[in-house]
Chain A
Amino acid sequence: MRIFDPHIHMTSRTTDDYEAMYAAGVRAVVEPAFWLGQPRTSPESFYDYFDGLLGWEPYRAAQFGIQHFCTIALNPKEANDPRCVPVLDELDRYLAKDRVVAVGEIGYDSMTPQEDEALARQLQLAIEHELPALVHTPHRDKATGTRSTLDVVRESGIAPELVVLDHLNELTVGMVLDSGCWAGFSIYPKTKMSEDRMVEILKEHGTERVLVNSAADWGRSDPLKTRKTADAMLAAGFDEDDVDKVLWRNPVAFYGQSGRLELDEPKPDEEATFQGNSIRRGGA
């Protein structure tokens, strides 16, 4: 089984996670730029973070047999901090990079005017750089927030097939698929979405334009939720081709729209452990 996790924050994960992910079939990931728990207080912290997403993290991932790509943006929460907003002026440089396959995570957190401004501006950057957009939907007041997000996406003029709305649930999936955008689901141990609920959503809405991710980060989360969802699909009667579509071909099709997803197709006979799996620690 080959798995592409379209949304996972590997910066927060250990080398044990990389090994377990490889063993579970994960061969490619996209790491969206997001907040880090601890608030940032200056644009320079963002640039170092972006550099990590483009430099150290893909280097680390490669040593475990996993291809790492990223999305770049000012996230909605920190778009509310005037000390962080100047990041928007430097995004042009970063959105031009080879391994950047979308603008994201953008979207709403608390539905403020500052978030409106950052979302609209970054959707324009996506259009200018011919990139897809990864849009986070708010955890609080989700249905209303998702509706507003769809309005802003429509007003921006970006093609809906270039947009994924993420962290959806039973109440928001319908309006997103109807809009022509992609529907993203984050499978979490307790919150957001479980693998069994995900299977029910796939039964009802089908496998077209659906992305399933672990969104694993520094909070309570599980980088193997993609594999667990695949197993739940098989147990519920989906076949291997359905699983391959949802967990490999769909993310490849979505991020492939960037023209920058330079992906090595995994070989089916690869062993479950990657040979070069000890990270170089460098100058000790």
Chain B
Amino acid sequence: MAAVMTASHSTPADPRPALAALLDPTARTWLDESAAKVAADPAAVRRLFPAVRRRCGHGRLTDYWTVDEAARAVLLTALPLRDQALADEITRLHRHGDPAEQRAVLRTLPLLDLGDLALPLVRESLRGNDTTLIEAALGPYAAAHLPHAEYRQAVLKCVFCEIPLDRVTGLDSRADRELARMLADFAHERIVAGRDVPHDILPVVRAFPDVIGAELKHALTDVLTDVLKEEG
């Protein structure tokens, strides 16, 4: 039987070595010079950050990073700012960022020493309806900093938005009885409505068997039987 599969809880790898290997010399030079400019003058990031995707490309780099997100992470980690000043600059980049820029900010959060200061950015993304932003928001930073009630709501929102739960960081350590209850109630609602129950909620629900009420048990057994058949 599958355990609760989840993205790694740990800090993502430093993207610089992978980037250096992949970028062509022109892009690499641009990025190195841009990072140096940002280190010398933090305001320079405001014009350089939006231009990254055109300069460095946007294919996949690693499981965690795309090329543009990784290159933008290089600029953000070059900012010579700390604490509130760093949070303010990052927040402005996110506030005026297009979705690709916002995803880059969200994915870089675990590499920046911000404490809880970036939680408003995570919350804003979770309120929205762009699933690419919701997914980017639910990385290692959210897993480490989001309060329990908000984390549970975020997981439930993923289920509604059809974001596979294996893309949500921290589910193995943060799934609790209350989340299992919420997902079981959701499953019940779906079964009563004659709609499909997404299978990826079942590992969480099964980890807390007492949340499954008598009337749900019967219905869920059918769903579970189907899943077990599929899993062989």
Contacts and interface: CB of A to CB of B under 8 A. Distances in A.
Contact of B128 (A54, A94, A98, A282): A282
Contacts, number: 53
A97 B54 CA distance: 9
A174 interface: no
A43 to B, nearest CB: 12
Interface stretch (B154-162, B190-198, B207-215): B154-162
A173 to B, nearest CB: 34
A55 B50 contact: no
B131 interface: yes
Nearest to B47: A96
B99 A54 contact: yes
- Interface SS of A by simple majority: loop
A218 interface: no
Interface string A87-106: 00010111011110000000
A82 interface: no
Contacts of A171: none
| Interface residues on chain A, size class | 20 to 34
Contacts of B100: 98
B38 to A, nearest CB: 15
Find the residue from B54, B128, B129, B162 having the highest chain A CB count within 10 A: B129
B99 A282 contact: no
B50 A97 contact: yes
Interface in A27-55: 47, 51, 54-55
Nearest to A259: B54
Contacts of A280: 129, 131, 161-162
A61 B114 CA distance: 35
Interface of A: 47, 51, 54-56, 58-59, 90, 92-94, 96-99, 259-260, 280-284
Given A56-B130, A59-B99, 16 more contacts: A55-B98, A59-B130, A93-B46, A93-B50, A96-B47, A96-B51, A97-B98, A98-B53, A98-B54, A98-B98, A280-B129, A280-B131, A282-B131, A283-B157, A283-B160, A284-B160
8 contacts: A47-B95, A47-B96, A59-B130, A94-B96, A97-B101, A282-B128, A283-B129, A283-B157
